[in-house]
Each structure stands twice: as structure tokens, then as C-alpha cells.
Amino acid sequence: AQTVTQSQPEMSVQEAETVTLSCTYDTSESDYYLFWYKQPPSRQMILVIRQEAYKQQNATENRFSVNFQKAAKSFSLKISDSQLGDAAMYFCAYRLTQGGSEKLVFGKGTKLTVNP
């Protein structure tokens, strides 16, 4: 069964600094998608970045980038130049495809605090 593990329940970072959130996953599939979602206090899940497993190049979206290590099944998120608005719960997710249907399998999340 596919599982997603986030080993850091909480992390903190100083404003303008860089922080890395960890995620590992387990799968027997060779082609899949991985995502990082952000959930601020407003509760809406917002897609931060996604990675397609067949692409070796790490995805980047402005201040957000990933370190995707397929062999190690690791998918960490790096936030550069952290801003107060980055404070939120961050969830790593694996997209599981079953018979044409898709569902997301989430990790337990990492609460990120940004200190001014």
C-alpha cells in the first residue's frame, strides 16, 4: 500500500531564511505524481508544487523547490526567503491511480511557523 511519511510534525524558520520540509513515500509504481499542499488557517488546501516521477528535473515554483530522489523515495520541499505568509500546515501527497480513478494519499503534515 502506498504510504506517505512526514517525519517533522513542526518546524520553525526565521523570516527571509530557508527551510526544508521532509517527505518520504512508499510505492511500487514507476510513474506517479507527488504534490506539496499548503493549508493556512483559512483551511483551504492550496497546491504549492508538483513533481512528475518520470521527470528527473526537480520542480521549482518561485521560492519553492523540491529535492526529488526517486530511488530513495524522498520528496522534500525547500522554501527560500521565507515570508510570514508561508506559515501554515504543509502536506505531502502521492497521487494513487486505481482503475482510472485517482485519489491523493497524504502525509500527516508539518506545521511551519515563520518568526519575524
Partner 1 sequence: KAGVTQTPRYLIKTRGQQVTLSCSPISGHRSVSWYQQTPGQGLQFLFEYFSETQRNKGNFPGRFSGRQFSNSRSEMNVSTLELGDSALYLCASSLGRFGNTEAFFGQGTRLTVV
Q: Judged by CB under 8 A, does residue 25 bind partner 1?
A: no
Q: Does 103 bind partner 1 (CB under 8 A)?
A: yes
Residue 27: exposure state from Cβ atoms within 10 A (0-12, 13-18, ≥19): middle
Q: Is 47 in the site for partner 1 (CB under 8 A)?
A: yes
Determine contact, residues 22/76, Cβ cutoff 8 Å.
yes
In the complex with partner 1, which residue's Cβ is closer, 39 or 58? 39
Distance CA(102)–CA(89), nearest Å, equals 23
**E strand or H helix at 52:** strand 46-52
Window of 11-19, 64-72, 76-84, 97-105 that interacts with partner 1 by CB under 8 A: 97-105
Task: Give the nearest distance from C-beta 51 to partner 1 in angstroms.
Answer: 12
Q: Which is nearer to partner 1, 16 or 46 (CB)?
A: 46
Binder to partner 1 among 107, 110, 112, 114 (CB under 8 A)?
107
Strand partners, 89: 39, 111
Pick from 92, 110, 91, 77: nearest CA to 26: 92
Choose one: 11-19, 20-28, 38-46, 68-76; the region binding partner 1 (CB under 8 A).
Answer: 38-46
Residues that bind partner 1 (CB under 8 A): 37, 42-47, 50, 91, 97-109
